[in-house]
């Protein structure tokens, strides 16, 4: 598995019968190659760093991509699609703090709350209309997938904690050595000063 993209982006969320709201969602994209046939799947995952149970995902195989390409009139092939998608996401990321961003991300769902399948759309706004560059249908993670995601988050946090503890120990050791050296130097200088006085 090769991670291609992972950033927190501002997304407008609209569910049925509710107001549109902005939220920060992490979008992760990776390319998964299964052997022995070297079948490639592009995996898109939406997570919320503040809500560990928020998980939406999509897996696009080369075959799935062909129907997506026809449905949405895409002009790229599967090999270049991941980078083009990432380029669009980076445009959204670079403009998300702007007063009037040209590129926006939208999530829409048919239910009144954010569950079930959702559509993630990359939209460009110009003076005339909203241009939908890409729309992907993501499904909510199953209980098993959410547990796997939580286990991955936990192991990542444990590894980060261990690294921080190691860095803290190194810093403490370094400061102890510096303090010891400073005390030794102070003692020597104090003795020299006493000799000069006598």
Residue where a domain terminates, one of 103, 124, 141: 141
Shared domain check, 164 and 106 = no
Domain that holds residue 180: 144-198
SS3 call for 128? coil
Shared domain check, 185 and 125 = no
Residue where a domain terminates, one of 102, 119, 141: 141
pLDDT tens for each residue of 71-110: 999 999 999 999 999 999 999 999 988 888 999 999 998 8
Shared domain check, 36 and 95 = yes
Shared domain check, 113 and 35 = yes
Please, are residues 31 and 42 in contact by the beta-carbon 8 Å criterion? Answer: yes
Shared domain check, 98 and 80 = yes
Shared domain check, 151 and 137 = no
- Cα 145–chain centre separation: 17
pLDDT tens for each residue of 147-185: 999 999 999 999 999 999 999 999 999 999 999 999 999
Shared domain check, 110 and 76 = yes
Dihedral sign, Cα of residue 47, residue 126, residue 111, residue 61: negative
């Amino acid at each position: 598995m090769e991670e291609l993209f992972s950033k927190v982006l501002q997304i407008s969320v609209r569910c049925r019968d509710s107001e549109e709201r902005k939220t920060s969602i992490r979008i992760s994209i990776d390319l998964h190659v299964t052997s022995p046939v070297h079948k490639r799947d592009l995996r898109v995952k939406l997570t919320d760093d503040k809500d560990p149970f928020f998980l939406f995902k999509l897996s696009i195989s080369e075959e799935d991509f062909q129907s997506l390409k026809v449905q949405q009139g895409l002009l790229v092939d599967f090999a270049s699609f991941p980078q083009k998608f990432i380029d669009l996401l980076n445009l959204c990321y670079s403009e998300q703090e702007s007063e009037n961003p040209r590129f926006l991300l939208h999530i829409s769902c048919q239910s009144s709350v954010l569950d079930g399948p959702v559509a993630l759309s990359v939209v460009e706004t110009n003076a005339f209309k909203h241009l939908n560059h890409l729309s992907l249908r993501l499904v909510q993670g199953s209980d098993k997938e959410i547990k796997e995601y939580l286990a991955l988050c936990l192991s990542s946090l444990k590894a980060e904690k261990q690294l921080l503890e190691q860095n803290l120990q190194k810093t403490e050791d370094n400061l102890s050595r510096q303090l010891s050296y400073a005390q030794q130097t102070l003692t020597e200088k104090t003795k020299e000063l006493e000799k000069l006085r006598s």
